[in-house]
Amino acid sequence: MIKRELKLCSDLSDNQRQFNHAKEILLDPLAKDLANKVEWWHLDQVSNTKEELFPVAVIGNGNPILLIHGFDSSFLEYRRLVPHLARFNKLIIPDLYGFGFTPRPIKSNYGMETILLHLSKIIKRTTTNCSIGVIGASMGGCIAMELARRNPNEINRLLLLSPAGLTTHPKPVPKPLDHLGVCFLKNKFVRKQLCMKAFANPKESVGIEEEQIASIHLNVEGWGRSLAAFARSGGVANSGVPLPNQPVKIIWGMNDNILSKTDKDLAKEVFKCNHEEIPKCGHLPHLDIPEDVANKWINF
């Protein structure tokens, strides 16, 4: 029995072993529940080998929704929204390519195109007999726009939560500034401050559970390398135009300390869709007001 368990452990990739360790030490019960729903998928044209598998949390039944997390985050970002939506929907929550607990091959492109290919393959695998809705948060909202344009028949509607980068232009970060940025983002004090800045009421909302989840993926093999490559690529930006043909609703937090008022006002002016600004809500509506976000989706 022990030999069999050792064999199974040795068959796991580095990112799978690191994920299993992270799952064991998670403090947030909702995060632990969601982590237990992770499946490991082989994706054609994305997985370089049979052993290169990608984490996708799958939970619930009903009409499918793809949930796309933000920059330098993971699928765990949606832990509070999941209980409100999984009663009525099948939720597909991947880690974005090069983020979270995904494998990070040394010779790989960690730019927008690879991220879109990865998500498109997940959609194709999920939507054999139906279309899928998409919820994207922060950078994930920007990605959702371009994903919808490229998959017009598979995606039926978009809910964007404080989308970032819709109207900005890509700004590639040259060496060695890319690695300096990685060192900056790995600093514990910096991460805590960014975590607090994302919530409407950080004194009440941010504790050790939130701080742990915001940084738990940093120990995954290749985290710094992929983040630096993503920065050199110019990241994700300027994907809002033209507006996709699918219905689009955008939720903004009135207490968003990440996006400026100028960014929000410009997006409202450019994108003629359904905009709603929510009081007592920061940059993370799905964490600040998860039940309200779920109701916005259900009544969309």
Per-residue model confidence (pLDDT) at position 5: 41
State the DSSP string of 6-42: HHHHHTS-HHHHHHHHHHHH---HHHHHHHTTEEEE-
Cα–Cα distance for residue pair 256/262, rounded to 1 Å: 12
* pLDDT for 97: 98
Supply the CATH number for residue 237's domain. 3.40.50.1820
Give the burial class of 1: count Cβ atoms within 10 A of its Cβ; 0-12 exposed, 13-18 middle, 19 or more buried: exposed
pLDDT tens, N- to C-terminus, the chain (300 residues): 444 443 444 579 999 999 999 999 999 999 999 999 999 999 999 999 999 999 999 999 999 999 999 999 999 999 999 999 999 999 999 999 999 999 999 989 999 999 999 999 999 999 888 899 999 999 999 999 999 999 999 999 999 999 999 988 889 999 999 999 999 999 999 999 999 999 999 999 999 999 999 999 999 999 999 999 999 999 998 877 789 999 999 999 999 999 999 989 999 999 989 999 999 999 999 999 999 999 999 999
Query: Can you give the residue range of the structural domain that contains 210?
Result: 2-298
Query: Kind of pairing, strands 38-41 and 54-59?
Result: antiparallel
The total domain count for the chain is 1
CB 160 within 8 A of CB 141: yes
Degrees, nearest 5: CA angle 256-260-264? 90
pLDDT at residue 239 in the model: 77
